[in-house]
Structure 1
Amino acid sequence: MDSTHIKANANKHRFTKEMTYIEAKAFQDELEDEINVQRQKEGKRPFIWDMGSELTDQGISNADPESGYNVKGEREKHFAYPTHTACDEHGFVLDVVVTSGNIHDSQAAVQLVKKVKRGFLEMKHVVADAAYKTPMLTRFSSQTHVRPVLSYTRSKGKEEFLSLKLYVNDEYYDCYLCPGNQELTFSTVNCKEYRKYKSDPKKCMLCLLLNECKTSESNQSTCLGNVC
């Protein structure tokens, strides 16, 4: 599964600026409810989701308002329609979803997987690049018994600290193990839909890797994992 753009028959210099709401991501409401349920179990306040933060300033084409403004370098600015295509392992097209410019990739991906699954019940995997690597698509795929195979995303962090890819996830015990062989246990779910894990600061104080570890001022190591 991958996406490309079909150029719209619209002048890229003729548009108006409008404040519009970003299209909701697939399963967004369900994930937000799950986050708050988890936080309430921990005795923490639920998040109040700010809909105003979803407003964005978008360029709307005068000729084709449903298209979206696509930017890929100074020479590749144009209004276009994102097209999401699913192929089998031989390169034959199984189905296509064409959306307007304000539809999030995860929303289109869910629609496409639904369509292909209806036509090909034997489908067991969906392969896509990092643009589709969202909690929403992962959750939907697992619910429909389709395994998502998504591109590896390089761990982000400062060079002077230990790489986050050195932290090992133990799914059975729902924890992470740091390079110092210390356990990071589940703490909470943050507002960005990630599960947060923390170490025991008393053990971190005695660790030989303390100065190389990404820790807080309280000498506590943290690690983030996906909600799903």
Structure 2
Amino acid sequence: MTEDKEVKVSTTDPDSGYMYREGKPEGFFYLDHRTVDVKYNLVTDVFVTAGNVHDSVPYLSRLDRQLQRFGFAVEAVALDSGYLTTPICKGLEKRKIFGVIAHRRFHPTQGLHPKWKFIYDAERDLYVCPQQQELSYRTTDRHGYRHYASDPKQCETCPMLEQCTRSATKRKVITRHIWEDSKEQVRLNRLSKSGKRLYKKRKETIERSFADAKQLHGFRYCRLRGLNNVMEQALMTAAVQNMKKIALHLERRA
């Protein structure tokens, strides 16, 4: 029997979502997922969701909408660490788009070896632990994760057992998504010279776009309740920002 997860609902604005993130304010919010172009920093897409919707959920559908509606020839995208998911990495690969996504810092269980210490052997499809024991493939779960497990007979005599697993069966299990190769390619993109240059542009484009909306256009707070009203505010704000950008660009050309 599975327990139903309790979802907090606002009594004054049920469309909003309760957001809890490290380093962020806690409460009922809306999220504006926007896209800008790297050349002129024009807002090309705006989409509002409740605050409890993860950033990565609407991304690929919004990307496809822009490709279809405007006919953009998107060659590369730069995203923050919230978008480092296997579906997004695989989606960018299928669309032949060079993806650069910030590194997400995971906090392993204190006292245990982090996953990166277990080396994946692609040719033999297995992991090798720091003590050179092999973790062979066992099964694939319904979420697309392949499970690799050690031999408990070898683990029980290993001097590093306490730093490896706390399982009662003395078996170490490592999981790897079936699209993990796509995520590893995105990591390599981030470390490349062109990837570093592209990601640096994020601070000059999307971050500045959000900062301008908050500081100069009252976008720090929702003026009305309800998803449709917040979406209207987001679209109007982006339209005004684009008008300013276009006017400045035309002035420079003149």
Same fold (TM over 0.5): yes
Identity between Structure 1 and Structure 2 (%): 23
- The structure 2 residue matched to 1:92, chosen from 33, 41, 48, is 41
Shift of 1:220: 1.8
Deviation string 1:22-80 (CA, Å, 9 cap, x unpaired) is xxxxxxxxxxxxxxxxxxxxxxxxxx9x7x84662321535xx544455679x956765
Mind listing any 5+ residue stretches in structure 1 that lack a counterpart? 1-47
1:67-216 equivalences under 5 Å are 67-69=16-18, 80-90=29-39, 92-93=41-42, 95-101=44-50, 103-118=53-68, 119=70, 122-190=73-141, 193-214=144-165, 216=167
CA distance in 1, matches of 2:41, 2:78: 14
Contact 1:126/1:147 (CA < 8 Å) preserved in 2? Answer: yes
Shift of 1:147: 4.5
Greater fraction of residues in strand = 1
Moved more, 176-185 or 139-148: 139-148
CA distance in 2, matches of 1:110, 1:127: 13
Q: What SS is found at the alignment partner of 1:149?
A: strand
Contact 2:89/2:99 (CA < 8 Å) preserved in 1? Answer: yes
Q: 1:100 to 1:163 in 2, by over 3 A?
A: closer
User: Hey, what does 1:19 align to over in structure 2?
Assistant: none
Deviation string 1:84-137 (CA, Å, 9 cap, x unpaired) is 122344562352232231644233212222134344654243332222233332
**Number of aligned residues:** 176
Contact 1:97/1:111 (CA < 8 Å) preserved in 2? Answer: no
Contact 1:195/1:227 (CA < 8 Å) preserved in 2? Answer: yes
Deviation string 1:141-198 (CA, Å, 9 cap, x unpaired) is 3332334433323343333222222122334433222212222222223466533211
Q: 1:66 to 1:215 in 2, by over 3 A?
A: closer
Q: What SS is found at the alignment partner of 1:56?
A: coil
Structure with bigger gyration radius: 2
Contact 1:167/1:176 (CA < 8 Å) preserved in 2? Answer: yes
- The structure 2 residue matched to 1:226, chosen from 174, 177, 197, is 177
Q: 1:204 to 1:77 in 2, by over 3 A?
A: closer
Shift of 1:83: 1.5
Q: 1:55 to 1:158 in 2, by over 3 A?
A: closer
Q: Which amino acid aligns with 1:214?
A: T
Instruction: Return the structure number with greater relative CO, CA threshold 8 A, min gap 6.
Output: 2
TM-score calculated relative to the size of structure 1: 0.59
